[in-house]
């Protein structure tokens, strides 16, 4: 699972990684969601299609229409791993909800090694692989590794799900904040 297709936000590197990985992972598929607004992003959509074709990954990229958030778990459950394709300048200091969505369904995460906020969780929980998302070979290596080590991939996914249930969910994260606020105001 990659997420939103956008050549300026990590998708280019993912596409290049898919080209490299497909040699060793013949059944490779990658779900992406169309982020191009019809009539406005026609040039970007065409550039995306050209890039996919030029890289020879047309059969690998499963480009879908966006779906409501409630439909995501069913889609994610059919995936083997989730990518967070942030470059050093794009969201490297953020903590995207997508990380927790991947963990909630029991998917291992391929995360940017240079993002302390994102990478801290997969490293601590042993539920993912850290890579350089500005280097397609680094991303391809992680994809290949997870596809060739199915048992390890499943174990990472199980640890991700357990960590989500025990430590990384709204109840566990938000409840202490709410209690602190209540104590400040004697609520």
Q: What pLDDT is attached to residue 130? A: 96
Taking the CA atoms of residue 159, residue 162, residue 167 and residue 173 in that order, the dihedral angle to the nearest 10 degrees is: 120
- What percent of the chain stands above pLDDT 70? 97
Backbone angles phi, psi at 105, to 5 degrees: -95, 0
Q: What pLDDT, on the 0 to 100 scale, is given for residue 89?
A: 82
Distance CA 121, CA 135 (A): 22
C-alpha 20/C-alpha 37 separation (Å) is 29
Helices 42-54 & 12-21, crossing angle to 10 degrees? 20
Summarised one tens digit per residue, pLDDT across range 19-49 is: 999 999 999 999 999 887 676 666 778 889 9
Question: To the nearest 10°, the Cα dihedral for 94, 34, 72, 86?
Answer: -20
| CATH number assigned to the domain comprising residue 76 | 3.40.50.2000
How many distinct structural domains can be found in the chain?
1
Phi, psi of 53 (to 5 degrees): -65, -45
How high is the pLDDT of residue 40?
Answer: 66
Residue 68: Cβ-neighbour burial (10 angstroms; 0-12, 13-18, 19+): exposed
Provide the residue range defining the domain that includes 163: 3-185
127-154 pLDDT per residue, tens: 999 999 999 999 999 999 999 999 999 9
Considering all CA atoms of the chain, what is the largest pairwise distance in Å, rounded to the nearest integer? 63
Query: What's the distance, Cα to Cα, between the start and end of the chain in Å?
Result: 43
Contact call for residues 108 and 146 (beta carbons, < 8 A): yes
């Amino acid at each position: 699972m990659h997420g939103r297709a956008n050549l300026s936000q990590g998708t280019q590197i993912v596409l290049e990684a898919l080209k490299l990985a497909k040699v060793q992972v013949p059944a490779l598929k990658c779900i992406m969601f169309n982020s191009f607004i019809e009539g406005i992003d026609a040039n970007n959509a065409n550039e995306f299609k050209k890039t996919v074709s030029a890289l020879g990954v047309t059969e690998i990229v499963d480009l879908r229409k966006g779906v409501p958030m409630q439909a995501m778990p069913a889609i994610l459950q059919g995936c083997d791993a989730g990518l967070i394709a942030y470059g050093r300048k794009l969201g490297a200091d953020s903590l995207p909800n997508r990380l927790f969505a991947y963990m909630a369904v029991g998917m291992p995460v391929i995360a940017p090694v240079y993002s302390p906020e994102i990478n801290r969780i997969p490293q601590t929980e042993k539920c993912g692989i850290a890579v350089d998302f500005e280097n397609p070979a680094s991303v391809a290596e992680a994809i290949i590794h997870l596809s060739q080590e199915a048992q390890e991939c499943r174990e990472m996914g199980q640890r991700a799900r357990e960590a989500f249930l025990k430590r990384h969910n709204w109840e566990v994260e938000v409840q202490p904040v709410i209690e602190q606020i209540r104590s400040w105001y004697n609520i």
